Amino acid sequence: MSETAQPPEAGRTRILGGDPVGLFGLGCMGMSEFYGAHDDARSTEVLHAAIDAGVTLLDTADMYGGGHNERLVGAVLRTRSAFVATKFGIRRDGERRWNDSSPGYLRTACDASLGRLGVDTIDLYYAHRLDGTTPVEDTVGALAELVQAGKVRHIGLSEVDAATLRRAHAVHPIAAVQSELSLWTRDVVTDGVLAAARELGTALVAYSPLGRGFLTGALRDRDGLAEDDFRFTNPRFTETNLAANLPLLGAIDQVVERHGASHAQIALAWVLAQGVDVIPIPGTRRLDHLRENLAAAAITLTDAEVAALDAAFAPDKVHGQRYPAATLPVTGPASTEQARA
């Protein structure tokens, strides 16, 4: 975070790498692609409004829009201060996409991101995905060199398993692990990633906390999706699975009535209830949705409400995988020896 950045209001913060950040970060991916047409002017307005409202963590990546997203965020950073997180590791060439977490590539990627963002130092630099070949120790070792060089302040990993997180942390402290976490995606809770992060003092940054829009209750069918909306390829949003998942929203309906809140606010309050080390980063391109999301900070769910929502959204009640099988995240080789074999 730059020297001119103002820390979030006391009592409404979470800690990331020793730095206070707002209760919510802002996921910027949709401002460049994946959810249909985008409007830079509107997105810029949302970015400024988020910072005005106390959001300090802006989350981007070099692959979002082929660098467009970093440039968009970078334009805002010319006059505003924020804690900026970006990522490397997913490479694209036309329609082809592959993972690359090699030391050589990450050094080049870091310099390119610094240029697009227009900053001297990246506050949090994630390995977006591991490639399954490069030992995580080598990846983190190279990232640690970037920290020593002053190009990166904190190191993060995205979509890794608990064992990989521990191996990485043994090389250099991992400030954050970013994984999908929402009412209908709780893998990090059940597979031990959240427990490992807590053991190591690593924050859990939760992406897609609104289930890619499903948990807002506004998406009842696919008719309103843009032709290039990536949800058309997501197993949970096939016509059959989407219809089968709709009854899950009934559990949120009951909590909405008690709190006088929206579905989105209850879904976000549930994520906040997972612990003070969990930082949700809902994304939006609309000012009204931004304000609605941030207002969830005022909602405290009871233990009984959290338990009821947990039961209603039990993994065996959710239809469809969270990603197509061919694009499920690679967590990396089980050991350094395997990777080098």
- What is the DSSP secondary structure assignment for residue 194, as one 8-state letter? H
- What is the DSSP secondary structure assignment for residue 34, as one 8-state letter? S
The two structure tokens encoding residue 180: 């999908």
- What is the DSSP secondary structure assignment for residue 290, as one 8-state letter? H
Catalytic hit among 35, 64, 125, 126: 64
Residue that is written with structure tokens 């660098």 in the block:
67
Helix (H) or strand (E) holding 111: helix 103-117
Per the CB < 8 A criterion, the answer to whether 219 and 289 are in contact is no
Burial class (CB in 10 A: 0-12, 13-18, 19+), 80: middle
Per the CB < 8 A criterion, the answer to whether 46 and 290 are in contact is yes
Helix extents (H) in 177-286:
187-190, 193-200, 239-245, 249-259, 263-272
Residue 105 annotated in active site: no
* d(C-alpha 275, C-alpha 281), whole Å: 15
* d(C-alpha 183, C-alpha 78), whole Å: 36
Residues present in the chain in total: 341
Q: What angle (nearest 5°) sits at the alpha carbon of residue 292, between those of residues 288 and 296?
A: 165
- Give the Cβ contact number of residue 264 at 10 Å: 25
* d(C-alpha 312, C-alpha 308), whole Å: 6
Residues with a catalytic annotation lie at 64
